[in-house]
Structure 1
């Protein structure tokens, strides 16, 4: 709606030739624009809401002064000097009032957010366990729930949310779910919290499915579609770190290169520090800068690894690379051994799945009356025939890595199947 109002103000200013109609339309739309931004505080950071509310309040003030300038109330239009003096006073008042109008809008936005942060959140903090939501605070719109939950946000560091704040936000959202169970926006909001904050992908996806049954509007349907696509990509890359489609694959490779670059930068910084120590004329300032650079790159690499591993929880390549980072750079062999063992376990499971791709072919038995009609069985039978061929059969992937071989190939090369 805010975008439509901004577009409407632009179109009115461009297309409407009657100044009085233009001023009236801009006055109404600028007030609606300010009211929407003030009421719903759509931005995640409070400062941005203050600035936007102040800006739209300033626009509304300018539209008000334009309306007075066009209608000339209590002014004798037949007296040019009186009209000129009035226009001059309005212009001076316009320039003088823009700053106070901005401050008024910003303060109004601050007061509204402070009401949710102080008054509403205090009610949820002080409510005894088991208190029904309607006796704590009666939400009338899902966007109010979103604002209050957003006000709970408190960071321990750049990547970690405060545990008590997360629990308080969950309490607020569950209160919203109990008061507004038929609102699709509320269900989508709860699903996003479960997925993005708590990391409960399956629970969030299950909650998201209920939103489809609540007659969502166009924007809500698009939000559901985007969430489902993200869930599909997450599920497809969760076990092996490989993606089922091009988008997921590109994202995985981009994150992998990002982690590799951060790892390399940390190694280069450490190399520079030790190279500096080999000099006989090293200064304390250069040594301090080298230590600072080394610490900065190591912390940055640690941050990148945590972010990437959170997105690709089942990638054994990233796990093994992170284990190497912990062992060589962080000097933490115990944590490194944990990550290395987990990565090797996932790698072994993936290789076993590849090696056993034909393990079930011997179990294929064509049932009477349906053997020739089952395309999958016919293909399996053809593959089994190839694997039982007296000729050597070696199956490789796009990187020329052997995936499986038959017995004839093992006899020719003199290696066991697992060794191949």
Structure 2
């Protein structure tokens, strides 16, 4: 207001020349005029930061191709990851707003900057500053878009608070936010088009957040949308100001008070409304509960898009007390995904979704890779190709953890984590032993028992947290799962969870073979005090030797990777079948008799 009325123009770099008389004092004018040089300096500092982050990422990518397992490169990767999270996720609007501020000019009339009216936007040096800032803003927006795609979590049962699988919806919201910032910054000279454009941008953001529900967690979607409705409210008032004929200060004060007094009720009302809409949007999932086996899935519900299939499949996100996915909910989510795949049979999005379901929920890597191969044949877009790559990498990690296929550094890290687990496990067992020894005393105070029980509970909770953290990294390691089963059985006295851990360990291929207690000792093996294994177990190679483990009836319990390549059967086809399927005639028919004779007599006979 002061600059528009006194028309006192000053140079952005210090020199000043009065155009007309002005009532504002010289110290006040000088203080306001000196704002531009620091503004340009800060802009260049921020631009250098953006370019350095991009160059640093490119250097790290090239360096890790040559030296993938370097410790200092991993440290550098963590540092760059933190920098990118701060710049391109937390401070995205702040950076983008500052870069576009340099173009806040009246291009249709005076060509002057809206805040520094002595600066000609189309003259040097401001033209150079503006081009640098706009170029950096464009680069910053592109990197942020790539960050949005890279941060999408395809795990349908992810427990992250801001986990989101909706790459396209978040990209649309990102572009709308960029348009909103550009309009708010660069179109001050035309308030009517500015207010209309801002209203459309924010309304689209609210609509996409409510329609697409980009986050896995229902509460996050509700809060996120309600906050954007809080932004929509002052934008509506801004448009009313732009189109009203009342330009008095009194009217502007009233509208300002309307913002202050109305924004909180608007947010609270939006919270309630969004919660109701989100709850209603998941109701079609009930149609898939209790379906008969011969039901035609494609006729149960008419899906609007593949994204609705993904949203309804989130009903699988129900966990028990141990954080394991509820089996009934997982089956319901799988049914919804299969129904969507029948309605949209050639959708790469649904094939990738089903692959991640098989990988993260069912822990079936081969089935996941099959779905990814099908998705790759359906002409996927750039985002889908990246998601296929990420899911393939996750399936490789699952395969390595199942087969024990670790390199030296990963093996050393696993052993360090495993020793930490055993250490806290032994601490709890020692405290248990001390408690029972205390109870054998002839005289004992209640306070001593209370202290011992509190110490035991704290140690058990601490050990359980350590187990959970290590299991998040090695979820299918047979040795670790068996130790965890012993912990659940002996310390927490949870027989059901222990049986589940043992069953999961038995499904593992390589590590389950290594952790078998063939000498008849404790379940956890020699690492927790059991006897050593037979020599043939420690000398065999799980990658080269075909190993089949069967029970007394000849049912295959587990197989090594070499068996699958030698006989051509997959792991899922062999496990649970009789070992006679691997034998030719006439031995396949006689083998049950051989097994019965060996079980009854204990004497082996070489065929």
TM-score for both structures, normalised by structure 2:
0.49
Mapping of residues 132-211 of structure 1, within 5 Å: 132-211=296-375
1:86 counterpart = 2:251: yes
Q: Which runs of 5+ in 2 are unaligned?
A: 1-170, 503-520, 546-607
Deviation string, structure 1 residues 66-119 (Cα, Å, up to 9, x no partner): 2222x142x245xxxxx22321221122122212321333233222321233x3
1:217 counterpart = 2:388: no
Deviation string, structure 1 residues 167-207 (Cα, Å, up to 9, x no partner): 21111111111111222111111111111112222212211
Distance 1:162 1:92, change over 3 A: same
Partner residue of 1:406? none
How many residues end up aligned between the 2 structures?
Answer: 346
Distance 1:348 1:38, change over 3 A: farther
Deviation string, structure 1 residues 361-414 (Cα, Å, up to 9, x no partner): xxxxxxxxxxxxxxxxxxxxxxxxxxxxxxxxxxxxxxxxxxxxxxxxxxxxxx
Partner residue of 2:289? 125
Partner residue of 1:404? none
1:51 counterpart = 2:223: yes
Partner residue of 1:256? 418
SS of 1:154 mapped into structure 2:
coil
Measured in 1, the distance between the counterparts of 2:312 and 2:196 equals 35
Residue 34 of structure 1 deviates from its aligned partner by 0.9
Measured in 1, the distance between the counterparts of 2:183 and 2:232 equals 15
Equivalent residue in structure 1 for 2:476, among 297, 301, 313: 313
Residue 32 of structure 1 deviates from its aligned partner by 1.1
Partner residue of 1:226? 390
Instruction: Please tell me whether the aligned partners of residues 156 and 162 of structure 1 are also in contact (alpha carbons under 8 angstroms).
Output: yes
Residue 147 of structure 1 deviates from its aligned partner by 1.4
Mapping of residues 277-316 of structure 1, within 5 Å: 284=446, 287-299=449-461, 301-302=463-464, 304-305=466-467, 308=470, 311=474, 313-314=476-477, 316=479
Residue 208 of structure 1 deviates from its aligned partner by 1.7
Measured in 2, the distance between the counterparts of 1:195 and 1:229 equals 11
Q: Which runs of 5+ in 1 are unaligned?
A: 78-82, 358-420
Partner residue of 1:235? 399
Measured in 2, the distance between the counterparts of 1:235 and 1:345 equals 25
1:13 counterpart = 2:184: yes
Measured in 2, the distance between the counterparts of 1:190 and 1:345 equals 40
Measured in 1, the distance between the counterparts of 2:413 and 2:465 equals 18
Measured in 1, the distance between the counterparts of 2:200 and 2:540 equals 68
SS of 1:238 mapped into structure 2:
helix
1:40 counterpart = 2:204: no
Residue 128 of structure 1 deviates from its aligned partner by 4.4
Q: Which has the larger share of helix?
A: 1
Instruction: Please tell me whether the aligned partners of residues 57 and 105 of structure 1 are also in contact (alpha carbons under 8 angstroms).
Output: yes
Query: Which region of structure 1 is more displaced relative to structure 2, 88-97 or 331-340?
Result: 331-340
Partner residue of 1:363? none
RMSD: 4.0
Distance 1:272 1:30, change over 3 A: farther
Deviation string, structure 1 residues 267-302 (Cα, Å, up to 9, x no partner): 575478579879999864564354134234325534
Measured in 1, the distance between the counterparts of 2:454 and 2:525 equals 29
Distance 1:205 1:265, change over 3 A: farther
